[in-house]
Structure 1
């Protein structure tokens, strides 16, 4: 069985690469949003034309990015949403809610200090983790029935 896993959330650390490396040998296909921050922010105006107002600049970019995000989440068997330590990722919370509304298997990843702020998101998840390695262990167990260690 091949698992399609969509990796949503913060783009400021190497968690995606760490998770993919930890899943080496597993039958997993990964997908993700555009993680080039500049390209993600400016795609709407680069393609559809400049905006004087920052709201409309961001609005265009969000809509263009949503085409990829919606497709990735809809096609996924499992959606992993990482909440980073430095920034509030409202888009990640939205992706988690969208995945939950679609009935996707949702794994949330964040540090313990965010438990209270993310309690509703955590309640929708099938697993709440802190590290890419824990996510990899879940995927390994789902695919192989093998426990870590």
Structure 2
């Protein structure tokens, strides 16, 4: 299995919007919030190719992740993988690479994950800590060099 990341392009928006709808459906349905149109529209409105990396496995679209600069650090957003590829270490590998880059640049990473999402465990193993939550989301932060994936943890 060959995992490659490339910079997002404007033409990626629709295939990724479809992938997002498929990847998020179980969690959004569990929370009573799945809306066929809204799940795609929210991605289209937020998509910024310059902050997005498309994950390809063996040359095919497998997911995406965005790292958006902000005043309070960088936001890790839109981290979706094809559900058929879950459990193969792809998400862990992609995240480890992003954490190495963030640590080298001295960037704090922030994110939010849906309540009850299994992805939260991945983030906690990677050094993210809880900063708050609401009925829909869990908010987390990871200062540079903290937790798994950092040079200090090796």
| Common fold by TM > 0.5 | no
Scaled by the length of structure 2, what TM-score is found? 0.33
Q: TM-score, normalised by structure 1?
A: 0.34
Higher strand share: 2
Larger Rg: 1
Higher relative contact order (CA 8 A, sep 6+): 1
Which has a greater percent of helix? Answer: 1
